[in-house]
Amino acid sequence: MLFEEKFIDIKGGKATLRAPKVSDAQELIEYLIATAGETDYLIRTPQDICLTVEQEERFLQNTLNSPYDLMIVCEVDGKIAGNCSLMFMNKEKMRHRASVGIALLQEFWNRGIGTQMFVEMEKAAREKGVRQMELEVLEGNERAMHLYEKMGFRFVGHRPDAFMMKDGTLLKEYFMQKLL
């Protein structure tokens, strides 16, 4: 699914929200590795990311061609600063739902990018007739939880001991939902 390019104002400048391009593959792999290394609150570690450029190119092409997937890339001064995705459920009994994913490079935190990406994902969800947006967040990720609550998401459950940190600490995974 394609996203029409949009220019946004952010704290300290301007940014572009756009659909990813297949030619972004290498930079997106580097971005994934960087974001995974900046926080323990993402599902992956840098070591988990073993994509080739060709694999990422195929993934991007499939995403762009899919009626059930939307990816938005945020670019600041020619650099990929973040991305978000909205995955629409394609089974008849679940078409009213969509799953959200979002990440930003740390240098772009607290500049309003996440808020803008959520606004665009919600618009796309409403256009597709989605009635609820869903996401998961790891215990302790207060910064993300604050953004999600600000955007209208509420806690609806949790999975105990869902993630094991490097030091052996087990963390809950919380489920959040926004009704549209």
- Residue 57's domain comprises 6-133
pLDDT at 66: 95
155 is a domain residue: no
157 is a domain residue: no
Model confidence, pTM: 0.94
150 is a domain residue: no
Mean pLDDT in residue range 98-113: 97
* pLDDT tens, residue by residue, 30-78: 999 999 999 999 999 999 999 999 999 999 999 999 999 999 999 999 9
29 is a domain residue: yes
User: How many domains, the chain?
Assistant: 1
- CA of 116: how far to CAs of 36, 55, 72, 147, 160, in Å? 22, 29, 11, 11, 31
Q: 83: domain CATH number?
A: 3.40.630.30
108 is a domain residue: yes
Q: Beta strands 69-76 and 13-18: pairing type?
A: antiparallel
Confirm if 32 and 42 have CB atoms less than 8 A apart.
Answer: no
Mean pLDDT in residue range 120-143: 97
Nearest to residue 17, comparing CAs of 119, 129, 109?
119
Q: What percent of the chain has pLDDT over 90?
A: 99
120 is a domain residue: yes
Tokens 């606004």 correspond to 119
CA 13 to CA 6: how far, in whole Å? 14
Mean pLDDT in residue range 79-96: 96
| Amino acid residing at 81 | A
CA 82 to CA 98: how far, in whole Å? 20
pLDDT at 33: 97
CA 157 to chain centre: 20
42 is a domain residue: yes
pLDDT at 133: 98
CA 83 to CA 20: how far, in whole Å? 9
172 is a domain residue: no
Q: What is the mean pLDDT of the chain?
A: 97
